[in-house]
Chain A
Amino acid sequence: MTVSDRPTPTRLVLAAGQADRQYWRDLWHYRELLLILAWRDVSVRYKQTVVGIVWAFIRPFLTMVVFTVIFGHIAKVTTGTSAPYAIVVIGGLLPWTLFSSILGDASSSVVGNANLITKVYFPRLIIPLATVLVVVIDFAVSLSILAGLMIWYGVVPGWQILLMPLFTILALLASLGPAIWAAAIVVKYRDFRFVIPFVLQFGLYVSPVGFPSSVVPERWRLLYNLNPMVGIIDGFRWSIIGGESPIYLPGFILSLAVTAVFLWWGIHTFRRIERGFADII
């Protein structure tokens, strides 16, 4: 037998509980599928809607207006900064929307693609990852609200704005862990479909979206940062307003640690349940 005419022979062993060392290589091999699934979701998302992608803009914008009117003007929440309340809110709302959309969309993504899972092989992580890409595109669109508000109020960003991409990536990582975990667990227990919207609604109020986290009493702050979005939202807001909204460093580090743990746990759970997806979906 001539070996030369074979394109890179790869020996694959399929057996129960086989620790699949090829998984990460496969994930790389299927990167085009990731892009194509994301592209599919983006191009289908706003089909037969009148205003299309503008929806990505409308939702966070209206939320911002509601927050500004209720908390800024009626309840008169103190922000401790000279920055307009609208800017403070949008600085928290953008990373929070990123988080909640990723968790919300990705958690139902695997079940939503059941037809693919029972018919073709590919590393299943591709599915929640593709939803993440879609959300990131919406996020990019909604950044224009921030730009618009900064021009409106004449807020000039400092050098910190350069770190905004870093905080965006951290927000992505913080959402990825719980999202991947939920995507896998929903396959088995559909109950979590009802749990997640509730968690997200709740999360909006316990995360520093409508207020800066500095309003939390000093002795509770570290505990407060167990919510990984706290440190990240603080950081994101700091990158816009700068020194007037300082980052609470121990809390920030704690938030990062929690993010890392969630990420590891999410991937671990997903990989464990993934093997049986086709049988239980």
Chain B
Amino acid sequence: MTDTVIRAEGLSKKFIIGHKIERDGLLREAMTAGARTLFRKGADFLRGRVTNSPGQIEEFWALRDLDFEIRRGELVGIIGHNGAGKSTLLKILSRITEPTEGRVEIDGRVNSLLEVGTGFHPELSGRENIFLNGAILGMSRAEMRRRFDQIVEFSGVSKFIDTPVKRYSVGMYVRLAFAVAAHLEAEILVVDEVLSVGDAEFQSRCLNRMSEVAGSGRTVLFVSHNFAAVTALTRRSLVLEGGRLAFDGPVDSGLAHYTASLGKTERVRNWGRGKDATLISAKLVDSEGRATENFTPGTPLRLHVVVETTGMPGMSLAVTLRDQHNLPIGFYSSASFSNVPLPTSAGRYECVLSLDPLYLAAGEYGIDLQTTSTAIVVDHRVDGAVQFFVNACNPGDVGYDFRQDQGAGHLALRLNAPLRFVHLPTANTPNLHSEQRLG
């Protein structure tokens, strides 16, 4: 085929984890670890044993044997859980990192957008940052000058274009950053979760802009947790699971596959064990009990938990809700809040914690689970047991999207009575009575 623009064959990427040297890169550690390895190897050799065990080194394949082809003008959504390898794939395609094995052939100029506002400098003005960011994203100066007015208009911050961006509000900053990105010219555009910024109106403008780009015959690869955006923008989907390509086909089937896999995989990773009460699995479920990664504000937050107990009395379950920065924003304890302990006969139990409707701001959230004895001593604790997303938070149905990254907290506050403004007469505004009397 002449119009294949991306061809990946056996694409794999390995990371070394749990290895101090790789992470911190302190020379001293490299030397001592090197000496230790040398010593151990020498000792093994003297004992006549040849060891290949790499000690504390652990390999992790972020991507394994990916094969796919993408044709010119295709709009492809890349879907997968956190850690399924989406970002790694995008980083390889955008040449930020190299594959460990396999190869990719790319025909054409790739521009990638893994973050909005890459390289923005707080001290520089909006105008200067447009040129800086554009150059970083690979635009030429001539191109930038041609598009400058469009970018400023799109961003809607023209009044502050000569103000340093450190004085911008978060919203303005993000609009400006996205405006530059939205005018990126490329034959192949690689976009990570970047549409999840700004208010609803701005987001829909971004979506329109993206579909314009997509409609002009460019090839677009797009990662998002926002199903609506994926469905609206793409036709084909690649579903990644644990670094492997699990599905390649139409976007609807892809999303279905992904949703179904949420229930199946159910976080089978090893969580270790507690002394008396062990958490086995946890997932967010919808009103019909199906696993999901998306939470709709204003509905009960339903958590399906499987726990194993030795039958020890006085054990309980606690939940901590965390925001995208991993700051705790909510807490529940079955002992302290509802006085319900775990069952006192040994065995494995499932339960659904159905929490009161919350109007959570759009964004990413995590849940830590723990079992405690006598509500104080932690028995088994799993941080980040569940992760979920709120795609949009529009508490008043007025088309506003309240987002975590606006920096105004995590909860949309709601009125329980209609908002009315009653006019208060003041000393300066003569009331009807006095006027009448004067007249």
Residues of A within 8 A of B (CB): 1, 6-7, 9-18, 30, 32-33, 36-37, 40, 43-44, 47-48, 115-122, 187-191, 275-276, 278-280
Contacts and interface: CB of A to CB of B under 8 A. Distances in A.
27 contacts: A7-B109, A10-B108, A11-B107, A12-B105, A12-B110, A13-B104, A15-B104, A16-B99, A17-B98, A18-B98, A32-B135, A33-B138, A37-B135, A40-B124, A43-B123, A43-B128, A44-B123, A44-B124, A47-B123, A115-B119, A116-B136, A119-B96, A119-B118, A120-B96, A121-B112, A190-B26, A278-B97
Contacts of B137: 120
Contacts of A44: 121, 123-124
Given A11-B106, A14-B106, A33-B136, 16 more contacts: A1-B72, A6-B187, A12-B107, A14-B92, A14-B95, A36-B135, A37-B135, A40-B124, A43-B128, A115-B119, A118-B96, A119-B96, A120-B138, A121-B94, A275-B98, A280-B25
Contact of A120 (B25, B27, B114, B123): B114
Contacts of A9: 107-108
B131 interface: yes
Given A118-B96, A189-B27, A12 B106 contact: yes
A118 B90 CA distance: 11
Contacts of A11: 105-107
Nearest to B1: A1
A116 B112 CA distance: 12
B94 A189 contact: no
Contacts of B132: 36, 40
A116 B15 contact: no
Contacts of B93: 14
A48 B24 CA distance: 34
Interface of B: 2-3, 15, 22, 24-28, 30, 72, 91-110, 112, 114-115, 118-119, 121, 123-124, 128, 131-132, 135-138, 140-141, 187
Contact of A189 (B25, B110, B138): B25
B105 A13 contact: yes
Contacts of B110: 12
Contact of A15 (B99, B112, B136): B99
Nearest to A275: B98
A1 B2 contact: yes
A100 to B, nearest CB: 22
A119 B115 contact: yes
Nearest to A195: B27
B118 A120 contact: yes
A120 B123 CA distance: 21
Contacts of B25: 187-190, 280
A40 B131 CA distance: 10
A10 B109 contact: yes
Query: Which 6 interchain pairs have the tightest Cβ spacing?
Result: A15-B103, A121-B95, A36-B135, A191-B27, A12-B106, A14-B104
Most buried by A among B22, B95, B121: B95
Contacts of A36: 131-132, 135-136
A117 B123 CA distance: 20
B27 to A, nearest CB: 4
Contacts of A187: 25
A117 B95 CA distance: 10
A18 B105 CA distance: 12
Contacts of B136: 33, 36, 116, 120, 122
A242 to B, nearest CB: 43
A14 B3 contact: no
B32 to A, nearest CB: 13
Most buried by A among B2, B101, B109: B109
A187 B15 CA distance: 17
Contact of A122 (B131, B138, B141): B138
A47 B166 CA distance: 13
A120 B109 CA distance: 13
B108 A6 contact: yes
A191 B29 CA distance: 11
Nearest to A116: B119
Contact of A279 (B97, B121, B187): B97
Given A14-B95, A44-B123, A189 B102 contact: no
B309 to A, nearest CB: 42
B16 to A, nearest CB: 9
B135 A14 contact: no
B142 to A, nearest CB: 9
Contacts of A280: 22, 25
Given A16-B101, A188-B25, A280-B22, A115 B107 contact: no
Contacts of A116: 118-119, 136
Given A40-B132, A120-B94, A189 B123 contact: no
Contacts of B106: 11-14
Given A6-B108, A14-B103, A119 B114 contact: yes
A15 B105 CA distance: 9
Most buried by B among A14, A32, A118, A279: A14
Contacts of B28: 191
